[in-house]
Amino acid sequence: MDIDGSELLRLVEYFDGAQKEVAAKTYPTVKRHAEQLRDQWQENAFPTSRRHGKHYPKSITAEQEPIADAISWEVGPETRMRQGGMGRGFEYGSVNQPPHLDGARAAAKVEPEFMKSLDEIIRGLL
C-alpha cells in the first residue's frame, strides 16, 4: 500500500484528533467512577470499622494523580489523615482483627459499570 505525504498527514491529524476526543470523553468517566469507588468504600467501611476506627472511613479519598499522558486517580485511605494509616489493617486484617475487604467489595461493585462506560466510549469512537 502506498500512501503519499498528504494522506499520511491526514491520518496523523485523524488519530491526533481521536486521541484528544478519547481524553475528553474518558476523563469525566474515570473521575465519576473514582468518586463512586470512594463513596462505596466509605459506605462499606462505616459499619466494619466500628468505634475503634471511627475516623477511618473519612480518610478514604479519591484524588487525581498528576500524570501528563494518562488519566489516573488514586482511591483509598489517605495516610496523612486521621486513622488513614490503618488502611492495611482494616482492609487485609491484622493480629487484632479479620480482613474487612471494604475496598475490594467496593471495587467489585463499581467495576462492571466502569468497564461498561469505557466500552461505550470506545464503541462511540469506532
Record the cell numbers describing residue 26, joined without a space: 474518558
**pLDDT over 60 at 1, yes or no:** no
d(Cα 56, Cα 72) in Å, to the nearest integer?
23
Asked if the model's pLDDT at residue 3 lies above 60, the reply is no
Angle at 107 between CA 101 and CA 108, to 5 degrees: 90
68 pLDDT higher than 90: no
Calpha distance 93→87 (Å, rounded) = 9
**Does residue 62 register a pLDDT over 80?**
yes
Decide if pLDDT at 16 tops 80: no
Is residue 114 packed enough to be buried (19+ CB in 10 Å), middle (13-18) or exposed (0-12)? middle
Q: Taking residues 91-104, report their average pLDDT.
A: 90
